[in-house]
Structure 1
Amino acid sequence: MVGENKITQTNYEVIVSQLKSELSTDCAISNKYGIILASNIDTFAKGKVIPQKILDLISKRNSIAEELKLKKINSFALESEEYNYLFTFSEELILISKLNLSVDLSKFMPNIRVFAQKLSQKEQMSAVNVFSEFDFSKDISKIETSLKEEKINKEKYSIIKDLIKYISNS
């Protein structure tokens, strides 16, 4: 509907803090391009970008799944000396979880996967729909004025052109 403004925006900071309190884990939420939207993980601070090598791996997940004869890859984990980093992805978002090594990934992953899917669905449904009426009358009047000025200038210069032609032919 023209003229209707419908803007809804997800507050990722609140979601990250809820995940911290409910799951006792640090998390970061990124868009599909790797830009961190909210985070309480220092390595993946808000506004930073997920390292390119990790983004490449995420973007190649479908071809990796084909290679391994899998339907789909929903997440992958990186184990470091101190933590596990779990990357869970949907079409629109990437959820990064920083977990202690003692956390059982087989119990944690299904919960976080469902959460990421629901968050992605919410994101898709709350897409920004902004429509506004545009007043073309000002632009049209500017164009008309410009055309009139151009026509007047063209007529002025045509007399000079005719005079130059007459003089050069003489």
Structure 2
Amino acid sequence: MSEIDYDEIISQLEKELNAQCAIANKYGIILGSAIKEFSKGRVIPQKILELISNRQDIADVLSLDMITSFALEAKENNYLFTFSDQFILISKLGLDVNLAKFMPSIRMFLKNLSTKILTRDKPEFSTFDFSKELSQMEETLKEESLGKDKYSIVKDLIKYISE
């Protein structure tokens, strides 16, 4: 299985979406990043992870099926946290970015990334022909049984002489 270059994915996202991004796995470990606050190899802060992990409870309180994103507005930037089963995508956006136009692109990207990763992680197994293996075992057993009977007279003679 080939290693995924998350930094390359991040650089492509920066070019296409004109936004700084970071990708983390579902445990919060950042796999690739262009955001200074969320540098590669670090872990997403615990309070943010708790908010993400409690998203289904929040959705239940609001009578929603699911929550797929959280947006946090700060003084100078918006932080958009979009998640799938396997990944958390963090986007650092300017305050002038229209989130309604930006979010569908991010969701589609994350969905495609998850699909590609899941299909890549599934190992391909070939079917094993047990009949061939069994026939080889049977042949080996036949050869061994013939070998036992072949020298039985000599073995008996040696036993008789040695007594």
Give the TM-score range, shorter chain.
0.7 to 0.9
Amino acid at match of 2:101: K
AA of the residue aligned to 1:107? K
> Tell me, what secondary structure is at the counterpart of 1:122?
helix
The root-mean-square deviation of aligned C-alpha atoms, in Å, is 1.4
Matched, 1:102 2:93: no
- Give the distance between the partners of 1:57 and 1:129, measured in 2 at CA: 34
For the 8 Å contact 1:88–1:112, the answer to whether it is kept is yes
Question: Does structure 2 conserve the Cα–Cα contact (< 8 Å) formed by 1:20 and 1:27?
Answer: yes
Q: Which amino acid aligns with 2:78?
A: N
Counting only pairs closer than 5 Å after superposition, residues 33-72 of structure 1 correspond to structure 2 as 33-72=27-66
Structure 1 counterpart of 2:9, which letter?
I
3-state SS in 1 of match to 2:11: helix
Deviation by residue 1:11-53 (Cα, 9 ceiling, x = unmatched): 1111100010111100000000000000010000000000000
Identity of counterpart residues, as a percentage? 57
**Could you list the runs of 4 or more consecutive aligned residues of structure 1 that deviate by over 6 angstroms after TM superposition?**
none
Tell me how far 1:122 sits from its aligned partner. 1.1
Q: Report the TM-score when normalising by structure 2.
A: 0.74
Amino acid at match of 2:8: V
- In the TM superposition, residue 129 of structure 1 has moved relative to its aligned partner by 4.0
Q: Partner amino acid for 1:120? A: S
Distance 1:40 1:19 in 2: 10
Pair member with larger Rg: 2
Which consecutive residues of structure 2, in runs of 5 or more, have no partner in the other structure? 126-163
The 5 Å alignment of 1:71-110 reads: 71-110=65-104
Q: Which sections of structure 1, spanning at least 5 residues, go unmatched?
A: 1-6, 132-170
* Aligned residue number for residue 18 of structure 1: 12
Q: 1:121-163, CA deviations, whole angstroms, 9 ceiling, x for partnerless residues?
A: 11111116499xxxxxxxxxxxxxxxxxxxxxxxxxxxxxxxx
Partner residue in 1 for 2:111 = 117
Deviation, 1:120, is: 1.0
Q: Which amino acid aligns with 1:121?
A: T
Question: What is the TM-score normalised by the length of structure 1?
Answer: 0.71
CA distance in 2, matches of 1:16, 1:79: 22
1:89 alignment partner AA: F
Q: The residue matched to 2:79 in structure 1 has which SS? A: strand
State the alpha-carbon separation in 1 of the partners of residues 83 and 66 from structure 2. Answer: 11
- Higher relative contact order, structure no. (Cα contacts within 8 Å, ≥ 6 residues apart): 1
